[in-house]
């Protein structure tokens, strides 16, 4: 017999005895009945409350255990047996394929795209007009053993009339590090900022924000090493640092084995009740830049454009807020996201056009930000809006005219002159996801990146996922 049943039995027995003792006194009998009923009610409510608390704790524990298991499988690729023990290579390897393509239309010539005051490098240009293969990713991942988790992603994407094959990521994570420490080595996306670490198929818009194009060449990834530490606290606190070879934009051609790019980041996050969650971060990327190439306004030959050698210090602040009623994002959810960028650069710029080469002294200060909101108003359907803004304050001095006749023309054509114009852009999108494996997205950009020109950009994108694919991070 449980405690609640024993209490009820005792009360009933007491009532029976009391009734027999006070049968001769009706007034006293009524009072005793009332007291016994009140005692029975309190006992019932107390036991019911205790059971409800046990049920709530059990439900919360089940949710927490599921979340921890999902996170562990996503981050480390671990699997467990029925007793919780590690099962080596339980998913060896997990294979996934993500197909991405789009059809694009522009009111301005996409080949003339530029961000005045900023060097266009990396993959910062516009997608090809018409039907194009944006990017197809083939990913293989597995727990190699109890010591390491490894993952590699090979990407295919269109480059003008050719299709390039690129090893996008190929890294290993050590699993044996103690006390909340984590690590990574190989080729991988940096954890600076918020959006940079996500693959393009996980973005909420078809294209990258202007700030990512200007400061990171769309996304920064390189060959390097990461060390990070997660605090054992209720609030999410994670600090990390990375060092890279420096062969990718915004660096250049590394003259060292490793160390031309250094990063550091701090990320905080937590829940507000069960319906709200947030994350904020600050990060820095410091680069020793050697011969960073990027086109200016002139695209006459492959040799045309600007090359920068010097120091580049980039600082980023980011914040993300998510809302889902009752903690269930399947029906409705809202995501607000914003990042602010500030960069200082100084060094030398070499500008080449045909057989002429000029040298400029360069001291630049640039900033930019974007903010976006994405709302899922019903299952499978979302809408979003985004605003981008950039500003460049660059001091350029021609120290060697190198065959050109007009120093002002050299500055104008270098791409580092802002021409008094701040690039900006409005974007709206709507997408339909009939399942977690497919998405169709329509997007419109009113792009005012180029002076005195408004580019009306339209795109229709598809994303198809095949095979095993873990849940995305916050």
Q: How many CB atoms lie within 10 A of CB 284?
A: 16
Pairwise CA distance, residues 409 & 116, whole Å: 14
Q: How many CB atoms lie within 10 A of CB 230?
A: 15
Note the pTM of the prediction, 2 decimals.
0.79
Pairwise CA distance, residues 192 & 251, whole Å: 15
Q: Report the phi/psi class of residue 400: left, alpha or beta, with left for phi > 0 and alpha for psi in -120 to 50.
A: beta
Helix, strand, coil % (nearest 5) of the chain? 20, 50, 30
Q: Write the pLDDT tens digit of every residue in 90-119.
A: 557 889 999 999 999 999 999 889 999 998
Contact between residue 204 and residue 374 where contact means Cβ atoms under 8 Å apart: yes
Would you kindly state where each structural domain of the chain is located, as residue ranges?
3-68, 95-467
Rg of the chain over CA atoms, in angstroms?
30
Longest dimension (CA), the chain: 125
Residue-wise pLDDT tens for the chain (474 aa)? 554 454 544 444 454 544 444 445 667 777 777 777 777 777 777 777 777 777 766 766 665 555 444 444 444 444 444 333 444 455 578 899 999 999 999 999 998 899 999 988 878 889 989 999 888 999 999 999 899 999 999 998 877 667 789 999 999 999 999 999 999 999 999 999 999 999 999 999 999 999 999 999 999 999 999 999 999 999 999 999 999 999 999 998 887 788 899 999 999 999 999 999 999 999 999 999 999 987 544 333 344 688 999 999 999 999 999 999 998 898 999 999 999 999 999 999 999 888 889 999 999 999 999 999 999 999 999 999 999 999 999 999 999 998 888 888 888 888 898 888 999 999 999 999 999 899 999 999 999 999 989 999 999 999 999 987 666 677
Q: Report the phi/psi class of residue 263: left, alpha or beta, with left for phi > 0 and alpha for psi in -120 to 50.
A: beta
211 backbone dihedrals φ, ψ, rounded to 5°: -60, -40
Q: Report the phi/psi class of residue 452: left, alpha or beta, with left for phi > 0 and alpha for psi in -120 to 50.
A: left
Q: Which two tokens stand for residue 376?
A: 């899922």
Contact between residue 250 and residue 217 where contact means Cβ atoms under 8 Å apart: yes
CATH level 2 (architecture), domain 95-467: Beta Barrel (2.40)
What are the DSSP calls for 437-470, one per residue?
Answer: TEEEEEEEEEE--STT--EEEEEEEEEEEEE--P
């Amino acid at each position: 017999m449980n405690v609640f049943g024993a209490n009820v039995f005792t009360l009933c027995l007491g009532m029976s005895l009391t009734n027999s003792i006070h049968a001769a006194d009706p007034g006293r009998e009524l009072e005793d009945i009332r007291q016994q009923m009140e005692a029975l009610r309190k006992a019932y409510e107390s036991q019911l409350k205790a059971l409800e608390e046990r049920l709530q704790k059990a439900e919360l524990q089940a949710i927490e255990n599921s979340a921890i298991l999902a996170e562990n499988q996503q981050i480390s690729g671990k699997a467990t047996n029925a007793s919780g023990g590690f099962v080596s290579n339980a998913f060896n390897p997990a294979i996934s394929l993500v197909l991405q393509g789009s059809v694009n239309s522009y009111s301005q010539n996409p080949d003339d795209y530029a961000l005045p005051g900023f060097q266009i490098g990396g993959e910062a240009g516009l997608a090809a007009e018409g039907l194009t293969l944006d990017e197809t990713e083939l990913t293989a991942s597995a727990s190699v053993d109890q010591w390491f988790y490894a993952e590699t992603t090979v990407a295919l994407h269109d480059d003008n009339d050719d299709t390039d094959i690129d090893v996008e990521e190929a890294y290993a994570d050590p699993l044996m590090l103690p006390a909340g420490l984590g690590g990574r080595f190989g080729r991988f996306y940096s954890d600076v900022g918020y959006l940079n670490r996500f693959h393009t198929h996980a973005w909420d818009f078809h294209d990258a924000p202007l700030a990512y194009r200007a400061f990171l060449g769309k996304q920064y990834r390189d060959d390097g090493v990461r060390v990070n530490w997660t605090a054992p606290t209720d609030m999410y606190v994670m600090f990390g640092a990375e060092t890279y070879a420096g062969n990718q934009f915004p660096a250049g051609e590394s003259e060292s084995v490793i160390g031309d790019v250094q990063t550091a980041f701090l990320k905080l996050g937590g829940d507000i009740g069960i319906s709200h969650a947030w994350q904020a971060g600050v990060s820095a990327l410091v680069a020793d830049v050697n011969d960073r190439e990027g086109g200016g306004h002139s695209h006459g030959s492959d040799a045309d454009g600007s090359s920068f050698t010097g120091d580049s210090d980039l600082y980023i602040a980011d914040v993300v807020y998510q809302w889902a009623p009752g903690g269930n994002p399947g029906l409705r959810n809202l995501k607000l996201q914003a990042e602010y960028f500030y960069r200082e650069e100084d060094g030398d710029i070499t500008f080449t056009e045909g057989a002429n080469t000029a040298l400029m002294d360069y001291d630049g200060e640039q900033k930019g930000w974007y903010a976006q909101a994405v709302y899922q108003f019903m299952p499978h359907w979302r809408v979003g809006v985004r605003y981008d803004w950039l500003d460049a304050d660059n001091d350029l001095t021609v120290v060697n005219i190198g065959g050109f006749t007009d120093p002002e023309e050299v500055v104008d054509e270098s791409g580092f002159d802002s021409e008094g114009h701040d690039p900006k852009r409005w974007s709206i999108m709507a997408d339909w996801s009939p399942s977690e494996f497919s998405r169709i997205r329509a997007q419109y950009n009113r792009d005012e990146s180029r002076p005195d020109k408004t580019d009306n950009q339209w795109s229709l994108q598809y994303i198809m996922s095949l095979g095993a694919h873990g849940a995305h991070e916050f």
